[in-house]
Amino acid sequence: MPRDGKETAMLRRAMLAATLLLPWPAAAQDAPFPSRPITLLVGFAPGGGTDILARLIAPKLSEELGQPVAVENRTGGGGTIAVVATTRARPDGHTVTLGTLSNNAQVPLAMKAPPFDPLRDVTPLVQVASVPLVMTVPATSPARDVQGFVALAKAAPGTLNFASNGVGTSQHMAAELFMLATGTRMVHVPYRGSGPASIDLAANVVQVNFDTLSTVLPHIRGDRLRGLAVTTRARSDQLPEVPTMIESGIAGYDIDLWYMLFGPAALPEAVTARWAEALNKALADRAFRQRLVEAGFGPAGGTPAQAAAVLRADITRYGEVIRRAGITLE
């Protein structure tokens, strides 16, 4: 029998009350991840190592996830602006950051009032790659090797400039550790990213940089810059003729830079696992891995737990380095 208006109204109220009693996820269930285009945030300017890697992996991730992956540069704050944007994003996996040792660990550790907690406010998804830094000078520099550069710096203390991607970044700390190890003194010139820093280095506006292999490799091959040393214990296959810092007489000098995908805090485990699955599957493609290697990156991969362990270890390590070097960012 058809219901009268009063009965219909009572039924509607009962249904509404039942809906309100449901837990929020059941009442407003999200579509399975991924259900729409994905934003991949980069904290540095175009042309730098992070941007290069992001634009290499974005098409492959799009292929694996079945949704467009758009790279978006959010520069400033030593790369932390992009991380902050991710911490404020909805925790559904559709906004992530390609973070680095710099902007996800070192820079916030150097800040007096960091805008995010590097352990609590993000979810490590998977390590994408790692890369050595290269001590690089203009092709016109009289310094032909590390000790030649040390001699130049000691002959004119406080007159040579070194570039970085900002206070507290890997480039900055690599230079600070170099100065501590060699007893030299230089002037810090921070940039918003490796792209503009490399341009000024080639033009001799700054006289040295400790930047990622992936960033400087095209400039070295194009004879615009000269690589003096790599910062890792082993030489790079991409620059086999360039010695390590240890081989160049800087004992114990060993730095590399990792790249890692991060999502917001409270990301569901299923979403975290899906991201790791997508990247690991991409890295299993031999042709794709070779493209990364040729660009100067060492492909990584692994689990979210392994990524989180790397992050924790380097927060401990570089907290001590920052204290020793007296690096502070307002």
100-134 pLDDT tens trace = 999 999 999 999 999 999 999 999 999 999 999 99
Residues 107/77, Cβ–Cβ less than 8 Å = yes
Q: What is the pLDDT of residue 24?
A: 37
**In whole angstroms, what is the distance from residue 46 CA to residue 195 CA?**
6
pLDDT at residue 330 greater than cutoff 80: no
Structure tokens at 267: 């990301």
pLDDT at residue 144 greater than cutoff 70: yes
Neighbours of 36 (CB within 10 A): 11
Residue type, 242: V
Residues 98/40, Cβ–Cβ less than 8 Å = yes
What percent of the chain clears pLDDT 70, i.e. is strictly above it?
91
Closest C-alpha to 124, from 13, 263, 322: 263
Q: What is the pLDDT of residues 21-47, one digit of tens each?
A: 444 343 334 578 999 999 999 999 898
Poorest-pLDDT segment among 1-15, 194-208, 209-223: 1-15
pLDDT at residue 297 greater than cutoff 70: yes
* Length of the chain in terms of residues written: 330
Q: What is the pLDDT of residue 2?
A: 47
Tokens 């010695």 identify what position?
Answer: 243
Q: What average pLDDT does range 201-211 have in this prediction?
A: 97
How far does CA 324 lie from the centroid of its chain? 23
**In whole angstroms, what is the distance from residue 145 CA to residue 226 CA?**
9
Q: What is the pLDDT of residue 30?
A: 59
Peptide bond before residue 34 is cis, with ω within 30 degrees of 0: yes
**Kind of pairing, strands 225-230 and 161-164?**
unpaired
End-to-end Cα separation, the chain, in angstroms? 73
Structure tokens at 61: 């991730």
Q: What is the pLDDT of residue 267?
A: 97
Query: Class of the 38-130+257-325 domain?
Result: alpha beta
**In whole angstroms, what is the distance from residue 294 CA to residue 135 CA?**
19
In whole numbers, what is the pLDDT of the chain averaged over residues? Answer: 90
Q: What is the pLDDT of residue 247?
A: 98
Q: What is the pLDDT of residue 67?
A: 98
Q: What is the pLDDT of residues 215-268, one digit of tens each?
A: 899 999 999 999 999 999 999 999 999 999 999 999 999 988 999 999 999 999
**In whole angstroms, what is the distance from residue 190 CA to residue 199 CA?**
13
Cβ partners under 8 Å of residue 216, min gap 6: 134, 136, 198, 209, 225, 227
Q: What is the pLDDT of residue 25?
A: 44
Q: Where in the chain is the domain with CATH 3.40.190.10?
A: 132-230
What percent of the chain clears pLDDT 90, i.e. is strictly above it?
76
CATH fourth-level superfamily of 132-230: Periplasmic binding protein-like II (3.40.190.10)
Q: What is the pLDDT of residue 152?
A: 97
Cβ partners under 8 Å of residue 75, min gap 6: 43, 44, 45, 81, 82, 192, 193
**In whole angstroms, what is the distance from residue 91 CA to residue 43 CA?**
19
Question: How many Cα atoms occupy the beta-carbon half-sphere of 66 within 13 Å?
Answer: 5
Cβ partners under 8 Å of residue 203, min gap 6: 138
Structure tokens at 80: 């932390």
Q: What is the pLDDT of residue 4?
A: 53
Closest C-alpha to 186, from 150, 238, 215, 214: 150
Q: Where in the chain is the domain with CATH 3.40.190.150?
A: 38-130+257-325
- Of 145 and 177, the one with more pLDDT: 145
Cβ partners under 8 Å of residue 90, min gap 6: 264
Residue type, 234: A
pLDDT at residue 310 greater than cutoff 60: yes
Q: What is the pLDDT of residue 271?
A: 97
Q: Which residues pair with 42 in a beta bridge?
A: 73
Dmax (CA) of the chain: 100
Q: What average pLDDT does range 71-83 have in this prediction?
A: 94
Q: What average pLDDT does range 85-95 have in this prediction?
A: 97
**In whole angstroms, what is the distance from residue 300 CA to residue 297 CA?**
9
